[in-house]
Amino acid sequence: MVTLLDAVKMAYRKHHLDDPSVGWDELSDVLMIALCNEMGDKGFQSWLNQVSAQQNVQRTASNVCEYCGRSDGSHDISKHVAYIRSRHAAKT
């Protein structure tokens, strides 16, 4: 179980201490898992879609999400969660 505290500590290590033992992908995964635990997968999804909609970024094919395959700036968080949890399960 990843807590918000775990995720924030890891983010601090990466952003402030520039700790090379924390990878950007790993940090991203842990932050997402912690947010999903806190907000629920659906709550996280609607929040993320809201944030994405506010970005005036021109989306191209290169913006295809590696987790859910969407390219319109929205995300299918259930696919993210399944992908990330399976990746973490495989590691241990």
Pick from 29, 75, 81, 84: which binds Zn ion (CB under 5 A)? 75
Indicate whether 44 belongs to the interface with Zn ion (CB under 5 A).
Answer: no
Interface segment toward Zn ion; rule CB under 5 A; list 14-22, 31-39, 47-55, 57-65: 57-65
Indicate whether 82 belongs to the interface with Zn ion (CB under 5 A).
Answer: no
Pick from 27, 31, 68, 82: which binds Zn ion (CB under 5 A)? 68
Gap between the Cα atoms of 38 and 8, Å rounded: 13
Gap between the Cα atoms of 76 and 9, Å rounded: 27
Total residues in contact with Zn ion, by rule CB under 5 A:
4
Gap between the Cα atoms of 16 and 43, Å rounded: 28
Which residue is closest to Zn ion by CB?
A: 65
Question: 3-class SS at 8?
Answer: helix
Amino acid making up residue 1: M
Indicate whether 67 belongs to the interface with Zn ion (CB under 5 A).
Answer: yes
